[in-house]
Amino acid sequence: MGFSLIPKEEKFFDLFETQASHNVEAAKAFKELAQKWSLESPIFDKLRDIEHEADITTHEIIDKLNRTFVTPLDREDIHELASELDDVVDIIQSVSSRMQLYHVNHSSDDLVQMSDILWQATENVRKAVGSLKDMSNSRRLLDYCIEINRLENAGDHGLQVAISKLFSGQPDPLEVIKWKEIYEGLEAATDKCEDIANTIEGIVVKHG
Amino acid sequence: MGFSLIPKEEKFFDLFETQASHNVEAAKAFKELAQKWSLESPIFDKLRDIEHEADITTHEIIDKLNRTFVTPLDREDIHELASELDDVVDIIQSVSSRMQLYHVNHSSDDLVQMSDILWQATENVRKAVGSLKDMSNSRRLLDYCIEINRLENAGDHGLQVAISKLFSGQPDPLEVIKWKEIYEGLEAATDKCEDIANTIEGIVVKHG
Amino acid sequence: MGFSLIPKEEKFFDLFETQASHNVEAAKAFKELAQKWSLESPIFDKLRDIEHEADITTHEIIDKLNRTFVTPLDREDIHELASELDDVVDIIQSVSSRMQLYHVNHSSDDLVQMSDILWQATENVRKAVGSLKDMSNSRRLLDYCIEINRLENAGDHGLQVAISKLFSGQPDPLEVIKWKEIYEGLEAATDKCEDIANTIEGIVVKHG
């Protein structure tokens, strides 16, 4: 039997925090890329590295979950949270990779603004995840979640503005195909932060 | 502890019925919009209101689920059903919102037909959800599910016809991008009704 | 009560193997189609038949799961594995169906290569699923999973090469829309094989 009967509660929370930090790091790097766009930027490689590190952390959590008999949170909540946290960095990296592949030769104000919102969302996710260990302060935790919801709405609005501009006039259809995917990808990352907030809210209620 | 030890079975079923009614309302409104297309239609706001109401109902179910110790159905089935019911109205609203954003200035026969199929599917979902309370009549429940499956096939066929027409001749690529998304969105909503039918079938078998 | 109190362990594993065989069959047929492209190919109908058979098998597993009280694997793992195995054949069939709808009149070297990778991935999934019955040889099981991961990376690389070529020069936007969907669909099927490998790894760890 590979099960450990002694719960190592702290370790799960530490690993969630590591995941959340990877997300902040990736969102910050992407924002910098959007601000100073260059197809030769070292940030593309940096994002690949972060994604790789994040992947290792996620596997560590899932593996620990499968080997641990008594867990500090419901098993399905641990699985959900780990997967959702992993998705954020995955999406950010894949958007940057697609932009490189498309030889996108400029950024846009909308991209900068959307990446700023995403970065703020990941910061609030990191704070919320960091507060999971001590659920006595559930008010603070829920405040972070409310802020993430606000940012997701802002991200959604940002996407609508960007898409509206993208289709206005007589745009090049190939540019539309590329940028629609880029903007929708970035919004999906912010959306995923809201999923994380919902998962955290659920955890708080169960332990409330 | 925020857990209630007394199961309020009825309440879950009532809330599912509320969600299912929101879906019918949204599908019916969308069908009207497709029939009498106008970018100034009050239906866009109506769909936003329905989506907002549906969101509140979904949160109420998830919150109640997290606070309830003994549930009338398996916890994961309650979660699944609530999420899937919520997805339907979300998709309908987002399709309408995208059409508005794209300044789509006409409807199409295919859109009317697909929205009619979707509306019928939501009606059958409502009937099935309304029958969940009393599972003694499982035959009737399964009949609704069979009908939803039939409608999903019809929706899939409708999508294929619409996509085929969309690409025929020398279409404007921008129109193709817009309408492909619209048609596929609508089909995804009907597809989600089939997921709901599958979830309900599973519940019926477990309680059979 | 429709529950069976006697676990029919073997039956679940047999059904998983049937699903995995359907996947191999579908991937092999698609590869042949990509190699000898013709809109009149009988393979389109063959893929529809395989998808239909696979659907029946999946329903049989889910139904058995709902009726069985003691299961040889965790309930959620059975559900996950059955759904993921079903997704592979669904995606392959829907890509072929879309290509037919688009009147795609040629194949491409990239498509042939990606379908070869997918076929290899389904072969390894079949071997892994076939080894689930006897988990004493977990080393072999994990080797299959590692190979599937390698193939997923190859599939991802193949997609990037294909997309890069697709956008190079001054491509017809309509061709880009069609082929982007085809290539991404095929990569999604290989990706799903990796999800299956992850699910299997989790099962192995729990029973290790």
Q: Which residues of A touch C160 (CB under 8 A)?
A: 97, 101
Q: What is the largest CA-CA distance in chain C?
A: 65
The reported pLDDT for the residue numbered C8 is 54
Nearest by Cα to A189 from A70, A79, A31: A31
Do A114 and A187 form a contact (C-beta atoms < 8 A)?
A: yes
Kindly give, in sequence order, each residue whose CB lies less than 8 Å from that of residue C137, ignoring residues fewer than 6 positions away. Answer: C131
Q: Which of C67, C98, C177 sits opposite B177 (nearest CB)?
A: C177
Nearest residue on chain B to C104, alpha-carbon basis: B167
Do A178 and A105 form a contact (C-beta atoms < 8 A)?
A: no
Question: Is pLDDT of A28 > 70?
Answer: yes
For the whole model, what pTM was predicted?
A: 0.93
Q: Which residues of C touch A103 (CB under 8 A)?
A: 167
Q: Which of B66, B102, B178 sits opposite A202 (nearest CB)?
A: B66
Do B18 and B103 form a contact (C-beta atoms < 8 A)?
A: no
Q: Which of C102, C103, C174 sits opposite B173 (nearest CB)?
A: C174
Instruction: Please tell me what DSSP assigns to residue C200.
Output: H
Q: Which of C76, C180, C205 sits opposite A2 (nearest CB)?
A: C205
Amino acid identity, position A162? A
- Go through chain B and tell me how many residues it has: 208
The reported pLDDT for the residue numbered B78 is 95
Question: Is pLDDT of A3 > 70?
Answer: no
The reported pLDDT for the residue numbered C134 is 84
Across the interface, whether the CB atoms of A101 and C163 are under 8 A apart is answered yes
Do A35 and A100 form a contact (C-beta atoms < 8 A)?
A: no
Rounded distance between C-alpha atoms, residue A65 and residue C153, angstroms: 25
Decide which of C8 and A70 is more confident: A70
The reported pLDDT for the residue numbered C144 is 97
The reported pLDDT for the residue numbered B69 is 84
Nearest residue on chain B to C99, alpha-carbon basis: B164
Q: Which of B62, B63, B174 sits opposite A176 (nearest CB)?
A: B174
Q: What is the mean pLDDT of residues A24-32?
A: 98
Across the interface, whether the CB atoms of B171 and C174 are under 8 A apart is answered yes
As given in the structure block, the two tokens for residue C134 are 């006897």
Q: Which residues of C touch A102 (CB under 8 A)?
A: 167
Residue labelled with tokens 């405040």: A143
Please write the tens of the pLDDT for every residue from A53-94: 999 999 999 999 988 888 999 999 999 999 999 999 999 999
Please give, rounded to a whole number of angstroms, the shortest distance from the CA of A158 to a CA of chain B.
13
Please write the tens of the pLDDT for every residue from A108-123: 999 999 999 999 999 9
Instruction: Please tell me what DSSP assigns to residue A36.
Output: S
Question: Is pLDDT of A107 > 90?
Answer: yes
pLDDT band at A1 (very low <50, low <70, confident <90, very high): very low
Mark which residues 138-177 of C lie under 8 Å from A by CB: 160, 163-164, 167, 171, 173, 176-177
Count the helix, strand and coil residues of chain A and give each as a percent rounded to the nearest 5.
80, 0, 20
Chosen for mutation from C176, C177, C179, C182 (greatest number of chain B CBs closer than 10 Å) is C177
Which range has the worst mean pLDDT, A175-179, B132-136, C157-161, C190-194?
B132-136
pLDDT band at C83 (very low <50, low <70, confident <90, very high): very high
Per-residue pLDDT of chain B (208 residues; tens, 9 = 90+): 445 555 556 799 999 999 999 999 999 999 999 999 999 999 999 999 999 999 999 999 999 998 888 899 999 999 999 999 999 999 999 999 999 999 999 999 999 999 999 999 999 999 999 999 888 888 899 999 999 999 999 999 999 999 999 999 999 999 999 999 999 999 999 999 999 999 999 999 888 7
Question: Is pLDDT of C1 > 50?
Answer: no
Rounded distance between C-alpha atoms, residue A94 and residue A182, angstroms: 9
Do B158 and B120 form a contact (C-beta atoms < 8 A)?
A: no
The reported pLDDT for the residue numbered A7 is 52
Nearest residue on chain C to B167, alpha-carbon basis: C102
Across the interface, whether the CB atoms of A102 and C206 are under 8 A apart is answered no
Q: What is the mean pLDDT of residues A16-35?
A: 98
Nearest residue on chain C to A68, alpha-carbon basis: C206
Question: Is pLDDT of C203 > 70?
Answer: yes
Q: What is the mean pLDDT of residues A137-158?
A: 95
Q: Which chains touch A (3 or more CB pairs under 8 A)?
A: B, C
Q: What is the mean pLDDT of residues A147-164?
A: 97
Q: Which of A176, A198, A205 sits opposite B67 (nearest CB)?
A: A205
The reported pLDDT for the residue numbered B9 is 61
As given in the structure block, the two tokens for residue C99 are 């290509």
Work out the angle between the directed axes of helices B138-167 and B173-206 (0-180°, nearest 10): 170
Fold of the A9-206 domain: Methane Monooxygenase Hydroxylase; Chain G, domain 1 (1.20.58)
Across the interface, whether the CB atoms of B173 and A173 are under 8 A apart is answered yes
As given in the structure block, the two tokens for residue A116 are 């700023």
Across the interface, whether the CB atoms of B205 and C66 are under 8 A apart is answered yes
Do A114 and A158 form a contact (C-beta atoms < 8 A)?
A: yes
Which range has the worst mean pLDDT, A4-13, B51-60, B178-187, C76-85?
A4-13
Question: Is pLDDT of C138 > 90?
Answer: no
What is the 3 state secondary structure string of chain B?
CCCECCCCHHHHHHHHHHHHHHHHHHHHHHHHHHHCCCCCCCHHHHHHHHHHHHHHHHHHHHHHHHHECCCCCCHHHHHHHHHHHHHHHHHHHHHHHHHHHCCCCCCCHHHHHHHHHHHHHHHHHHHHHHCCCCHHHHHHHHHHHHHHHHHHHHHHHHHHHHHHHHHCCCCCHHHHHHHHHHHHHHHHHHHHHHHHHHHHHHHHHHCC
Kindly give, in sequence order, each residue whose CB lies less than 8 Å from that of residue A102, ignoring residues fewer than 6 positions away. Answer: A178, C167
Across the interface, whether the CB atoms of A174 and C171 are under 8 A apart is answered yes
Nearest by Cα to C192 from C94, C61, C85: C85
Nearest residue on chain A to C201, alpha-carbon basis: A63
As given in the structure block, the two tokens for residue A129 are 């995840």
Measure CA B133 to chain center: 20
Mark which residues 23-82 of C lie under 8 Å from B by CB: 62-63, 66-67, 76
Please give, rounded to a whole number of angstroms, the shortest distance from the CA of C202 to a CA of chain A.
6
**Which pairs from B123-128 meet CB under 8 Å and 24+ separation?**
B123/B24, B124/B148, B124/B151, B124/B193, B124/B197, B125/B20, B125/B23, B125/B24, B125/B85, B125/B88, B125/B193, B125/B196, B125/B197, B126/B17, B126/B20, B126/B21, B126/B23, B126/B24, B128/B196, B128/B197, B128/B200
Q: Exposure of B30 by Cβ count < 10 A (0-12 exposed, 13-18 middle, 19+ buried)?
A: buried
As given in the structure block, the two tokens for residue A141 are 């935790």
Q: What are the boundaries of each domain within chain B?
A: 9-206
Q: Which residues of C touch B205 (CB under 8 A)?
A: 2, 63, 66-67
Rounded distance between C-alpha atoms, residue B50 and residue B157, angstroms: 28
The reported pLDDT for the residue numbered C206 is 85
Kind and range of the H or E element at A161?
Answer: helix A138-167
Rounded distance between C-alpha atoms, residue A161 and residue A180, angstroms: 12
Do A91 and A188 form a contact (C-beta atoms < 8 A)?
A: yes
